[in-house]
Amino acid sequence: MTQPSPDTRSPWALYGIFFVSGCAGLVYEVMWTRSFGLVFGSTTRAASVVLAGFFLGMAVGNWVGGRFASGTRAAALRRYAWIELGVAGAALLVLGWLRLYHGAYPALYRATFDSPAALSALQLGLAALALGPPCIGMGATLPLMSRAVVTSETQLGRRLGFVYALNTLGGVVGVILSGFWLPVALGVRGSMLLAALLNVVAAGAALLAARGLAESAERTPERAAPRISLGGTLRPLALAAIASGLGTLALEVLFTRLLVNAMDSSVFSFALVLATFLVSLALGSALVSLVVDRLSSPWLLVAAGSSLGAVAILIAPALCTRVWLTSLAQPHWPGALGAVVVLLPITFAVMGPPALLIGTILPATWRAAITRSEDTGALVGRLTSLNTLAAVAGSLLAGFVLIPTLGTSRSLLLVASLYAALGVLALLQGPRSRPGRLAALCVVVGFASLASLRSWQIVPSIVQPGERLVALDEGEGATVTVTETKRGVRQLNVNSRYALGSSQGREVHRSQGELALALHGAPREVAFIGVATGISVSSILSYPSIEHVLAIELLPGVTRLAELFREENEGVLDDARVELRLADGRNHLFGTDQRFDVIVGDLFVPWHAGTGYLYTVEHFQNVRERLIEGGVFVQWLQVNQASLAEVRNLTASFTTAFDDADLWLNTMERGRPLLGFVGFRGRSEAGRNLRRMKGIARVCGAEVLRDWAKSAQLNTDDSPIIEFSAAASRWSSLSKKVREVMDAVAELRGAEQRSWTKPATAAQTP
């Protein structure tokens, strides 16, 4: 049987290989972000430098891969296979780097934490050192696969657009697996091993595919890497690729900020937002594959995608208001499926159309640049490298400059203006004609007219009926607001969906600090993980023995707006003894060598993305190490935010770290009881004698807790089960969850009382 010619051989095997590679790449990205967050902290800046390291490596890889994409398709595919194997090996080495960083980072942190710029530079250097090799390899795969899949100029645009779309859809699968299942099923390290296995599978399949290419293609002599300059006629295409990268990642950051106000900030929410964005980009690339080879000039597609994308971006904020109101009325569906049913339509309604339209731009620039199939890999590599570098800049610019200075609405207007300008450039670069110039003028006039309607203006916060917005702070990490009811009750909110505290709950918030202080009796050094309104910190005012208080807050906007609760917190944040530290509380305690008599963990929503790491065995063990002998730690949990299973997981994890532990119940706020998990590093006399405070009572001790939770799975850094299970159970009945947990508390109290009577009963037995 004769071998089919290169022009007729089906590319589907190569599409499948690149799909698998895309899946592995996004699994790595999600897992590395999680893992480095445990070393560097869960601040926005730390997460950004990790992603910057990731994308910088990808950009270098795009450029390097283009240099090695010359010659035959089979040669490019063989190089692709070896690079996939290299990615797998280098990715496994990242596990070793993480272990090394975990041991060395505390000393580095102590040397730089007073200089945010130095700390960020250090983190970026460490991330680039570890992630550089695998990310360079991942970036190199695109130009090599592009060369392998293109056989002639007649189907160049179709195949390039489709292979890129399939790779992006593979990334979507990776995001969904990582955001819903993998960390719980396999653990974080196990998920990385799975991704490495996918690289190996892709490499093996690529070697087989290279061997099966037609002999005529194999006998084609290798050509030297083309000497391609991005000057001259290619310069406008390079500019388009840069503008597209800058705008795309900036837009992803801005839309994520808008959408979390209508969602629950869980790991499911962020996975769905990213997956929706990637799906939309993939659909845009698929659209390119269908039409670009039929157009007289690919610049027409760049013009259409940019101009219509600009319009869609301007309209999106207006849609947010309707979407927010709709989301508030959605019924609660149980489990992860419920999260998808409720949240997926929200993400597609707002960000789908603009992301699809701008997703056409980069593949269209590829087609416009390439005139010979042999140059495919080189030009794809060059243009994608510039696009990726610009994407890094766009992400950082949006998060750290645009949102804090202009706000989300004006930032969206600026990004839309960038795309409108690109649309005009594309129309002027296309076929030189009067209709093209007229179309450019129409874009300018139409965009200006639509912008003047101010559909892009929106207050990026949900204000409930009967409330008014008192203050808003759009910071780099979250949108923080203070709202006030008609009765004058002020509330501090993060991303609209979570209330950190209110002026009405003074006694409840203050009691959270008072329990730990009373159990110690005479503390001198105290730390609070979480500041919020500052009311819980104000509990220190009743203890003159206290010499120093470390108040750690993750969000700068929270500390700025806490000033509006000065009457309730009695101005405690201005107390000379209080040191206010903007940092990730877990990470700061990990990095510092300070030790404390008392540490108080605020109420942390267990389903918020990353918050589950404040309930892991490793965190509790680190907190215990930060306690002075005789020290006390209290971690609070709001009962209606966790199911019975999650309370058992937390109990098992807490008692693993603390040999001596109590459970306390705070019923001061009707309908929202609080559980206080108390860990001791040697009890003081006060800790042995205190059994009750106003509205708070001891439930049981460590022996009863361990027996109750002995079959529960531990919540660890490698297996953060609480974050995922709470994100699913949060859609179930709140009243049912509270009832089940409170029944268990009654059971624990009964078991504790029975344990008190056992010695007396035994003594009376003949």
Give the pLDDT of residue 336.
Answer: 55
Question: Looking at 338-347, 474-483, 743-752, which range is the least confident one?
Answer: 338-347
pLDDT at residue 704 is higher than 90? yes
Q: What is the amino acid identity at position 373?
A: S
Q: Which helix (H) or strand (E) holds 264?
A: none
pLDDT band at 7 (very low <50, low <70, confident <90, very high): very low
186 with 250, same domain? no
Q: 200 and 245 share a domain?
A: no
pLDDT in tens, 495-537: 877 888 888 878 899 999 999 999 999 999 999 999 999 999 9
Q: What is the pLDDT of residues 158-171, one digit of tens each?
A: 999 999 999 999 99
CATH code for the domain of 653: 3.40.50.150
State residue 4's pLDDT score: 39
Q: Is residue 274 part of a domain?
A: yes
- pLDDT higher for 18 or 70? 18
Residue 1 has pLDDT above 70, yes or no: no
Average pLDDT over residues 663-675: 91
> Are 675 and 631 part of one and the same domain?
yes
Q: Which of 442, 460, 478 is the last residue of a domain?
A: 460
* Max mean pLDDT range (119-123, 375-379, 518-522, 724-728): 518-522
Same domain as 296, residue 193: no
At 749, the pLDDT band (50, 70, 90 cuts) reads: very high
Q: How confident is the model at residue 223 (pLDDT cuts 50, 70, 90)?
A: very low
Residue 505 covered by a domain: no
pLDDT value at position 658?
A: 97
Say yes or no to pLDDT of 270 above 70: yes
568-625 pLDDT per residue, tens: 999 999 999 999 999 999 999 999 999 999 999 999 999 888 899 999 999 999 999 9
Rounded Cα distance, 347 and 269, in Å: 9
Looking at the structure, do residues 753 and 610 belong to the same domain, yes or no? yes
Is 226 domain-assigned?
no
CA distance 684 to 139: 58
Q: Report d(CA 446, CA 307) in Å as an integer.
A: 10
* 303 and 178 both lie in a single domain: no
Which residues span the domain enclosing 316? 239-460
Does 39 fall in a domain? yes
What average pLDDT does range 466-478 have in this prediction?
Answer: 89
Considering the domain boundaries, does residue 141 fall inside one? yes
Within a 13 Å sphere around the CA of 651, how many CA atoms are in the beta-carbon half?
A: 28
Lowest mean pLDDT of 203-207, 433-437, 605-609, name the range.
Answer: 433-437
Amino acid at 267: V
Determine the pLDDT at residue 363: 95
Q: Is residue 623 part of a domain?
A: yes
Could you tell me if residue 259 is inside a domain? yes
Q: Are 367 and 293 in contact (CB under 8 A)?
A: yes
Domain co-membership, 39 together with 100: yes
Share of the chain above pLDDT 70, in %: 91
| Residue 343 and residue 284 share a domain | yes
Please name every residue paired with 580 in a beta bridge, in sequence order, or none if there are none.
551
> Hunting for tokens 């993480």 — which residue is that?
98
pLDDT of residue 62: 96
pLDDT (mean) for 169-192: 95
- Given a cut of 50, whether residue 224 has pLDDT beyond it is no
Instruction: Tell me what percent of the residues of the chain surpass a pLDDT of 90.
Output: 66
- pLDDT higher than threshold 50 for residue 388: yes
Domain count of the chain?
3
The average pLDDT across 126-151 equals 95
Q: Are residues 177 and 308 both part of a single domain? A: no
Q: Which CATH number characterizes residue 417's domain?
A: 1.20.1250.20
Burial of 561: CB neighbours in 10 Å, binned 0-12, 13-18, 19+: buried
With cut-offs at 50, 70 and 90, classify the pLDDT of residue 761: very low
395 and 280 together in one domain: yes
Under the banding of pLDDT at 50, 70 and 90, the label for residue 122 is very high
Report which residue type is found at 216.
S
72, 77, 79, 82 alpha-carbon torsion, rounded to 10°: -160
| 267 and 385 fall within a common domain | yes
State the average pLDDT for the chain. 88
What are the tokens at 219? Answer: 């006998």
In a domain, 491, yes or no: no
What pLDDT was estimated at residue 414? 96
Residue 484 tokens read as 């006030």
Question: Which of 147, 179, 214 represents a domain boundary (last residue)?
Answer: 214
Q: Does 274 share its domain with 127?
A: no
Other CB atoms within a 10 A radius of the CB of residue 478 amount to: 23
